[in-house]
C-alpha cells in the first residue's frame, strides 16, 4: 500500500530540515490547503487544527508549546527527534507510543573532507549556537594558527524567502562544512523547557563529512554520540582541546573516523524508512 504524506510547517530551521527537506525525499505535499484528508499528516512544531486528519503526528522538535498541546490531545501521534527527547516525552506525556525519527544529516552526496592541513574552525546555527564572545573566540583561534568561519544565525536568512528554499539552504550548509576542519559548539545555557528536546544534528552534519567536533556535552550528544566527539565543560580547557585536535593528527583521525561511522545511521535513506513506517 502506497502512503502519501502532507507536511505542515512554518519557516525557520525545523521548517526547512523537518519540513521542506523531508517533504522533498518523501514526495510529500507541503502545507496543502486541501486534498490531504487521507494522508499521513505531520505537523512540524506547529499546533494542528481542530479538524486534523485521523493519521496525524506532531513532530515536537524542540517546542515546549507542542509538549503542552500533547498533554491534552492523546489522540495525536508524537514524533521525537532524539533518544533523550523520546524518553522525556514518554515520561511527561505518560505514553509508550512515541515514534523516534532523528534528524537526517545534510550530506546527501557523501563528500568527505580530504586530507589537508587543519586550518579552519567553524560555528553554524542560531545566535545561541556558541555562547562565548565570538571576537574573543576568533582571537584565541588565531593565536593557535586557526581561522574562524562563523555562519551567524544561519536560518534567519531564510525566514522571509518565498517558496521552498530547502534545497538552497541545505547546499549552503554543505558548503559551510566543506570549508572547515573542526566544528565547535559551546552552549551550556538552555531554557529548562528545551534542554531535553535538543538533538545531535550538529554532530550528525559534521560527522557525515568526516569533520570532528569539540563541544559542551549536551544531553543528546552524550546519549547518542559519546566517544565520537571531544567534550569539555570548562571554556579554557575547551580551547586546549581544539588546539590538541589540530596538533595531533592521530587524535584528529580517530575522532573523524568515529564521527563518520556514527553519522551513517542518520543518512537520509535510513531516516526516510522511519517515516515510511509511520
pLDDT digits (tens, 9 = 90+) for 236-273: 999 999 999 999 999 999 999 999 999 999 999 999 99
Give the pLDDT of residue 161: 44
Which is higher by pLDDT, 129 or 29?
A: 29
3-state secondary structure of 143: helix
Q: How far apart are CA 99 and CA 117, in angstroms?
A: 42
State which fold the 5-105+267-276 domain adopts: Rossmann fold (3.40.50)
Give the pLDDT of residue 204: 97
Take residue 239 and report the three cell numbers written for it. 580551547
Give the pLDDT of residue 144: 96
Which is higher by pLDDT, 157 or 172?
A: 172
Give the pLDDT of residue 168: 63
Chain-wide mean pLDDT for the chain? 92
* pLDDT tens-place string over residues 161-191: 444 444 467 888 999 999 999 999 999 987 6
Listed residue (11, 3, 69) closest to 36, CA to CA:
3
Give the pLDDT of residue 237: 97
Give the pLDDT of residue 206: 98
Q: Are 143 and 242 in contact (CB under 8 A)?
A: no
Across 83-94, average pLDDT? 97
Q: Strands, E, within 60-168: which ranges?
A: 77-80, 99-100, 120-124, 147-151
State which fold the 120-266 domain adopts: Rossmann fold (3.40.50)
Give the pLDDT of residue 164: 43
* pLDDT tens-place string over residues 185-227: 999 987 666 789 999 999 999 999 999 999 999 999 999 999 9
pLDDT over 50 (residue 95): yes
Give the pLDDT of residue 160: 44
Give the pLDDT of residue 193: 63
Could you give the residue range(s) of every CATH 3.40.50.2000 domain in the chain?
Answer: 120-266
Give the pLDDT of residue 157: 53
Q: What's the whole-model pTM score? A: 0.92
Give the pLDDT of residue 203: 98
* pLDDT tens-place string over residues 20-46: 999 998 999 999 999 999 999 999 999
CA gyration radius, the chain = 19
Amino acid at each position: 500500500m502506497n502512503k502519501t504524506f502532507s507536511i505542515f510547517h512554518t519557516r525557520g530551521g525545523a521548517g526547512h530540515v523537518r519540513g521542506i527537506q523531508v517533504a522533498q525525499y518523501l514526495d510529500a505535499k507541503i502545507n496543502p490547503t486541501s486534498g490531504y484528508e487521507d494522508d499521513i499528516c505531520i505537523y512540524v512544531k506547529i499546533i494542528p487544527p481542530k479538524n486534523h486528519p485521523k493519521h496525524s503526528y506532531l513532530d515536537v522538535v524542540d517546542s515546549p508549546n507542542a509538549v503542552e498541546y500533547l498533554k491534552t490531545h492523546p489522540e495525536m501521534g508524537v514524533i521525537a527527534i532524539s533518544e533523550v527527547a523520546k524518553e522525556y516525552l514518554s515520561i511527561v506525556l505518560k505514553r509508550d507510543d512515541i515514534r523516534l525519527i532523528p534528524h537526517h544529516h545534510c550530506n546527501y552526496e557523501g563528500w568527505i573532507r580530504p586530507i589537508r592541513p587543519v586550518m579552519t574552525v567553524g560555528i553554524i546555527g542560531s545566535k545561541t549556537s556558541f555562547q562565548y564572545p565570538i571576537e574573543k573566540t576568533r582571537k584565541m583561534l588565531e593565536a593557535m594558527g586557526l581561522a574562524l568561519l562563523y555562519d551567524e544565525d544561519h536560518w534567519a536568512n531564510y525566514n522571509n524567502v518565498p517558496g521552498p528554499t530547502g534545497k538552497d539552504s541545505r547546499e549552503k550548509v554543505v558548503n559551510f562544512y566543506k570549508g572547515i576542519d573542526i566544528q565547535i559548539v559551546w552552549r551550556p545555557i538552555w531554557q529548562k523547557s528545551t534542554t531535553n528536546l535538543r538533538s545531535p544534528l550538529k554532530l550528525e552534519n559534521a560527522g557525515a563529512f568526516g569533520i570532528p567536533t569539540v563541544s559542551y556535552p549536551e544531553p543528546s550528544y552524550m546519549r547518542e554520540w559519546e566517544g565520537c566527539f571531544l567534550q569539555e565543560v570548562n571554556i579554557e580547557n575547551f580551547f586546549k582541546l581544539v588546539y590538541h585536535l589540530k596538533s595531533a593528527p592521530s587524535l584528529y583521525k580517530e575522532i573523524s573516523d568515529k564521527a563518520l561511522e556514527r553519522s551513517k545511521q542518520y543518512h537520509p535513506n535510513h531516516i526516510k524508512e522511519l517515516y515510511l513506517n509511520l
